Every structure is written in structure tokens, then in C-alpha cells.
Chain A
Amino acid sequence: MVAALLLFLVAAAILGYRIISAVPPMLHTPLMSGMNALSGITILGTLAVFSTATTAPLKALAGTALILAMLNVAGGYWVTDRMLGFFKGKESAPEKEKA
């Protein structure tokens, strides 16, 4: 299991490095907010801890982490989608979003 874990970690890091290096500077802000969303993956851990916590303080702590991680996921993907909606090419008629 530990071997599988390390394998996935290293493989993701290497492939990720190649792919992310090619994201143009123009999109670096959405890239970062998208990474915020992805770092919310820790919600998988919070779900496990929350569902197995036995004492009240543990439950409260795990519940807080669950909310924070979900906030990252939802907020990160949402704002990234909103931002990427601004990026329009010359052909598509530019429409404006009023913030």
C-alpha cells in the first residue's frame, strides 16, 4: 500500500510538472484558484475522520475541517469557472459580466 501511495504521488508530480509548465502565464490566476479547489481534495480525509470520530471535540474539529475543505472545493471551482468565462477570443462577441 505504501508503495502504491508513493508511486501515485511521484507519478502525479512528474506528469503534473510537464502539463502545468505549459499553462500560459495569461491563465495563471485561474490556474491558482483551480489548484485551491483541487487542494480541497483533503475533504476525502475529513470525511473519513468525521465519520469515525468518537468524541465530541474530535467530531467538532473534523466537522470544521470538512466545511473548510468543501468551501475550498466549491469556492475554488466556482470562481475559476467565472474567471475563465471572461476569457474570450476575438470571434466570439465579448459580453460583459457585471460583478
Chain B
Amino acid sequence: MAVTIIISAVLIAGFLAGLRLMQNPATARNGNRLSALCMALAILFTINELGIWNSVSTWILIVIGSVAGILLGQKVMMIQMPQLVALLNGFGGAASAIVAATSLSLTANPGALVVLTAALALAVGSITFFGSAIAALKLQGTVSQKTVSLKGHRYWLGALLAAGLLLIILSIFYPGPLFYVIAVLFSIYGVLMTLRVGGADMPIIISFLNSLSGIAAAICGLAVYNILLAGAGALVGVAGMILTQLMCKAMNRNLQAVLSGFSGATPVPGTPQPEEPGPQAQSLKEEQIPDLVREAQKVIFVPGYGMAVSQAQQQVKDLIDVLESRGKTVKIAIHPVAGRMPGHMNVLLAEVGVPYEMLYDMDTINPEFAETDLVIVVGACDVINPAANSAEGTPIYGMPILEVEKARHILIFNLDARPGYSCVENSLYSKQNVLTVWGDAKETVARVTASLGEE
């Protein structure tokens, strides 16, 4: 007993130390390895406690899971990270739900607290699994990225939640059969909850499901009296909550609104529309880019999800290299919700060899735009739209943006002039100091880089 507590404390401290090392990109990899080591020790310790060293079937299952996991982790492309994280959130939730459901059958007379926590873990785990499955399918494009909602969606969700909570309380008196109903109700809840969430809100919902997978594990730990499970689950739950908060703040959204399906997929009537945006309103021409670049001393890149869709990271890196070789100061500004999950852009750029010192977050870089000669936007729209400051009543109103409009010149490499996910016209497109180059960023950026090379 005492030994179990001490070992659990040491291992949880190890997980915390690993996270502490994640605060710095130079030490993060070691932090992850420390965490993995602690996990291995936790598994071996448990196998020892249970006395199942010689259980062949256990080892076979461990090997199957490990091999499948390593293959998945090795093969996945970085653009697919949101799907992978969603999938793993789901697996974690499912495993916790199953443990919660089956743990009752192990004890002859489980106490009320055990039944209650098991029912809760089952509920949270079921939401996590089915919610994550839908999120992964949406990210993969199998299910529509738009919000899908039923008639009276909000009431369905409310009714399911109320009925589910009632059953959880009742399960204290009638465990067993009620567990099946709880699992079914909360599975439907998970599906309905995620179906409503639109593409641009994915960073929020993924963070939220990440958190739920930890909460399910933590409650599961209470149900099966496992300190490590409770402690480590709590860590995951907290991490997910922090990210959920950050993502909501970065989109000026609250979690309630996201879960109830308000995600700005419909244009709001009365939106102040800027005058016909398009090349004719601009005085700058693409042929002038070499001049703009020559004059610029300080350049900031703003990549968005469009860069990832076009797979233009390498082309962007090539352009950065050319600019740096000409003695320019180059920085990269990353909006917290650029991409489909927190930090997605950073990974995509790091993959093509962009050193992490060049990557700046929004709060750090925003004061610098005013003294910047040239901003190069690649596949980003909503996160730079000044309408967020002025267009009251639109979905992006009040959302913090990268203040690129303060720079001297702005080059925009977007696919077309259509508004971003928010359906709010980008008022930048018609400004005098802005040059837009429409088309696949992979080609347009490469073309511009080539035109610079001719000098």
C-alpha cells in the first residue's frame, strides 16, 4: 500500500518533470522521452503488482498495441496530425469507458461511490470516443466539415444530458443493466455534439475532447482505486482544458457557443461589405514584387491553413532562404488558431527545416507589424482580417487578429478572393498597399521566388 503510493508519487512527478521540459523546444524531446520512460515503468509496476509476468496473452496484446501505435506514429503525415490526435483521444476515451464498465463485474458488492464513478467514467469515455470518431471523420473530409444540425438540436442535447445524468444517479441502486443505457445515451450525445461543430472550430473541439479523454481516465482511476490513473488522467484533463481556453480566447468564442453549433458558417445580414475587392482597386502589380522586396529590410510571414492545404511549406521555406540570403530580417507570425489544431503551423514549418527561433506567437509579434516593411501572407484570411475590429455582428467580431494592416506593404498569396471560413469579406484585399496574388500558393510562391532569383 505505502509502496504503491510512493511509486505512484514518483512516477507522477516524472510525468510533471517531462512536461516541465516541454516548456522549451530545446529540451522538449527529452521531456517526452522521460514521460515515456515513466509510462513504461508504470506498466511494468502494474504487471508486477498483478503478478501477470507470465501471462502470454497479456504480452501479445501489448505487442499488438505497440506495433500498431508505432506504425501509426511513424506513417502519419504532419498535415494529418489533427486527425491522429482526434483518433487517439477517442481510443483513450474508449479504453477508459470499457475499464469503467467492466470494473464493476470484478467486485461482488461495489460501494455506491465506486458505482457512481464508474458510471461517470463510462459516460465521459463514451462521449469522448464517439465525439472523437466524428471529429476525425470530419477532419479527414469523410463527414461534412460544415455544421450539421438536426431540428431542435439544442433540445436533443439537453434532453440526452438530463436523462443520462439521471440514469447515472439511478445506477447506484441498479448497476448492471443501466450501464448499457448510459453508454448508448452518451454515445449519441458525443455524436450529436461533434456533428454541429464546423471546420474552423476544430481546434477548440479537439482540445476539448483531449481534455475529456483525460477526465475519463481520471474518474476511471477513482473507480478502480488507482492513484496513477487518477493523477495522470488529471494532468491530461488540465492540459486539454488550458488549450480549450486558449483556443476559445483566440477565436473570441465560448465553449458553449461552439458546442451548440454557432460557428459562423452563414453570412450575417447587415455585414458591412467593402467595395468590390479585386486587382483593379490595387495600384500594386505583381511585376513590382522584386522592387518591394529589394526595398524591404524587415519581412514577416503569416502562414495559414491554406498553406497546409496547398502543401506550400517547402516553397515558403525557399522564399525565406532567398530573403535571408539578401540580409533581410525575416520572422514568421503564427495565429493561435491557424490550422486545424493548436500549434499545427509550427510543426508543418519545423518539418521543412524552419528554425524555431523564427516562429513568433501573436502577442509577441503584433507590436512589430508597424515597423515592418513587407508582410507576406500565405493562405490566411480570417486571422488577418481587420473587419474583426470593426464589423460588429459578424462571427469574427472581437477575434484577436495579426495586425498586418499596420505594415508598409502586404503581399497576399491566397487561393482566391473568397472570404475565409467566417464568410466575412476581407477588407484588406482592397487596400492600396496590398498586393494580392491569387492561385495555388505552391505555384504562386515558387513563381515569385523564381522572379527574385533572376536579379
Contacts and interface: CB of A to CB of B under 8 A. Distances in A.
B139 to A, nearest CB: 13
A26 B346 contact: yes
Contact of A84 (B32, B55, B216, B342): B32
Given A84-B29, A99-B77, A37 B35 contact: yes
Interface string A80-92: 1111111111100
Contact of A30 (B28, B98, B237, B243): B28
B231 A12 contact: yes
| Chain A to chain B: the 8 pairs with minimum beta-carbon distance, closest first | A70-B65, A74-B69, A28-B343, A78-B73, A75-B69, A28-B342, A79-B73, A39-B92
Interface string A38-71: 1111111111111111000010011111111111
Interface in A3-37: 4-6, 8-13, 15-17, 19-37
B252 interface: no
A30 B32 contact: yes
Interface of A: 1-2, 4-6, 8-13, 15-17, 19-53, 58, 61-90, 94-97, 99
Contacts, number: 372
Interface in B88-111: 88-89, 91-92, 94-96, 98-99, 101-103, 105-106
A83 B72 CA distance: 13
A33 B35 contact: no
Interface stretch (B38-46, B274-282, B293-301, B423-431): B38-46
Interface string B51-78: 0100101100110111111101110111
Interface stretch (B17-25, B374-382, B432-440): B17-25
A29 B347 contact: yes
B15 A84 contact: no
B85 A32 contact: yes
Interface residues of B, number: 111
A49 B103 contact: yes
A89 B354 CA distance: 9
B50 interface: yes
Nearest to B43: A43
Contacts of A31: 22, 239, 243, 342-343
B206 A5 contact: no
B36 A77 contact: yes
A59 to B, nearest CB: 9
Contacts of A78: 69-70, 72-74
A29 B344 contact: yes
Contacts of B356: 26, 87-89
Given A53-B105, A63-B61, 18 more contacts: A9-B231, A13-B237, A23-B19, A23-B23, A24-B25, A25-B343, A26-B25, A26-B334, A34-B18, A41-B228, A46-B99, A47-B43, A51-B55, A61-B102, A66-B62, A68-B91, A89-B356, A96-B352
B320 to A, nearest CB: 12
Contacts of A61: 98, 101-102
Contacts of B392: none
